[in-house]
Amino acid sequence: MRTPDRSDMDGETSDVRAFLESLTGPSRGTVTWLVGNALSASVGPDRILKFRRKEDVPPHDEDVATFQWSQGGYTLNALPGRDVWVNGQKTASAALGHGDMIEFGEEGPMSRYRVCDHSFPAHHTVEDIISDAYVYARSSRRPFARKMSGALRDGGRRLTSQTTVLFRVTVIGILLLIFAFGYLLFQNDWKLADSLKQESLKIEAVAVILSQTREDALTADDLVALREAFDNQVISTEQRLGTLEERAGASRRVITASTRSIAFVQGDYGLRQTESGKLLRHVLGPDGEKLKTPFGKPWIEPDAAGAPAEFQFTGTGFLLQGTSLLVTNRHVALPWTTGDRAQALKAAGLEAEILSLLAYLPEQSKPMEAVLLRASNTADLALLSVDANRVQGLGLSLAPDPPRAGEEVFLLGFPTGLKALIVQAGPDFLKTLERDGAVDFWSIAKNLSEQNKIRPLASRGIVAQISPGAVVYDAETTTGGSGGPALNRNGEVVAINAAILPEFGGSNIGVPVSHLKTLLDESD
């Protein structure tokens, strides 16, 4: 139903006194002008409200009420048998006031009555629209859910169609600002959550690495424990670790000939942030001290001013005869590739890289710098390059054939790392370290080398099992002995020590020398 023009009714514009604004039904949102002194209102099966002058058309069955102008306003009279409600109250006759809500029959439309001064407002105020929605919700006899949804729906429609352009533009602008602000908050929350997640992953990665490298580092508490052990004579060089080859009855010839080619490997690595390419460094306090997180872990950041965070490790390697190559395990040369370290670093967006890698040889007072040449993708092996001038005349040869079960093997290495070397060096060396204050990871190895106290331990064992991927033997060793050679009676390398199997009575696993030969061929 269209909104009628005032001239639609005989052109008597002076008789326009009010209008009805339909709020429900098919005519929702339209306006019906009330022109004349006496009008008849009808509602057909289509639920559309219609008006006509009483004198123009005789009454018919669809009429529900009449409107009579008197004393400056219309009076509504319900026809006999017809139900009409004004402001929610059923009535037979009512003098209408501006803003009254009229409901024509059980199924008829609900309309707002408005008095006008010969003009229909082009726009409604927000206050009027909200008021209409409130009155409708209060006056309607429909079920609560229906009248509330109707009030909200009609109020929203009118706010978007019957208010001024300026108001609508302002509302849209405010909504856009709210949306933009919400989006910025979302972005900031997402970035903050991602930052917290990355920080958590970084802390987790550092914790995993620290937990797996703790045994490689020598702390002040370790030195105190060693000094007390010496003072109480609970341990001695022979009682604690000593020379295992004497206790096991190993062949002195093989041990003596091979010792000078066995290297104590010492190194550290740092962590680089993949995104920025920066190394993680220690965050320093006002006095230059290294700060820690609330979890007790080192506080490290890519933009910190302290030294790079370093993770220390030790292991064993041996020189290869006729070359300047040092053979060791991949997990010694690339210690972050073992256990959960690699996965934790990747999840934290970090990459590890070697900061320092040194090799100490017996009877040499200074270490050699070592550089990773190649690591095997199929076996726990790696080749390091060292100074050729420092290793002339040294090196071990490789056995042409694999060992057989029941054969003797001699295992050389540096089990337990610096701790074993300090025990071998004796209590006087420990006192010197404490007196000079040279108890850090690097100074201890440097002093041991200068005093010619770096010497591998040896043990004897029997080959228990052989397979293409492993040689199993019972020669004694422990953490730190990884990368050491397992020698036959001819002093030839038959396997490279790689793992310990404490659950099988102290058995150890070595990588067959055939895998080393393959790696050497690939490196040529």
pLDDT digits (tens, 9 = 90+) for 60-107: 788 999 999 888 889 999 999 899 999 888 999 999 988 888 999 877
**CA 295 and chain centroid, separation:** 18
Other C-beta atoms lying within 10 Å of the C-beta of residue 400: 8
Distance from C-alpha of 516 to C-alpha of 398, rounded to nearest angstrom:
9
Are 90 and 84 in contact by the 8 Å Cβ rule? The answer is yes
- Examine residue 201 and state whether it is found in any structural domain, yes or no: no
Considering 77, 92, 120, which residue would you say is the last residue of a domain?
120
pLDDT, residue 177, reads 85
Same-domain check for residues 391 and 515:
yes
Q: Please state the φ and ψ torsions of residue 195, each to the nearest 5 degrees.
A: -65, -45
Residue bearing tokens 């999840």: 347
The CA distance from 337 to 354, in Å, is: 12
Q: Where does a domain end: 120, 141, 171?
A: 120
CATH code for the domain in which residue 466 is found:
2.40.10.120
- Within a domain: 154: no
CA 23, 25, 27, 31 torsion-angle sign: negative
CATH number of the domain that residue 13 is part of: 2.60.200.20
Choosing from 120, 147, 180, the residue where a domain stops is 120
For 82, residues 6+ apart whose C-beta sits below 8 A from its C-beta are 63, 64, 65, 105
Cβ neighbours around 274 below 10 Å, total: 13
Task: Indicate the DSSP class of residue 249.
Answer: T
- What pLDDT score does 2 carry? 39
Q: Side chain identity at 412, as an amino acid letter?
A: L
- DSSP, collapsed to helix, strand or coil, labels residue 275 as coil
In a domain, 192, yes or no: no
Instruction: With beta carbons less than 8 A apart as the criterion, state whether 515 and 379 touch.
Output: yes
The answer on 113 and 251 residing in a single domain is: no
Q: Is residue 198 part of a domain?
A: no
Counted domains in the chain: 2
337 belongs to a structural domain: no
- pTM for the model: 0.60
> Which phi and psi angles does 456 have, rounded to 5°?
-70, 155
- Whether residue 506 is found in the same domain as residue 366: yes
Whether 350 maps to a domain, the answer reads no
Tokens of 343: 């996965």
Residues 259 and 378 in one domain: yes
Q: Note down the domain range covering 66.
A: 6-120
Helical H runs in 379-478? 418-425, 427-436, 441-450
Distance CA 384, CA 327 (A): 6
Beta bridge pairs of residue 316: 264
The reply to whether 440 falls in a domain is: yes
Residues 115 and 228 in one domain: no
Distance CA 111, CA 407 (A): 107
Share of the chain residues as helix, strand and coil, in percent rounded to the nearest 5: 35, 30, 35
By C-alpha distance, which of 418, 411, 417 is closest to 476? 411
Which residue positions in the chain have pLDDT lower than 70? Answer: 1-15, 57, 117-128, 131-132, 135-142, 147, 151, 155, 157-158, 161-165, 189, 191-250, 478-480, 501-506
Distance, C-alpha 321 to centroid of its chain = 49
Say whether both 222 and 108 belong to one domain: no
165 within a domain of the structure (yes/no): no
Helices and strands (H and E) in the chain: how many: 12, 26
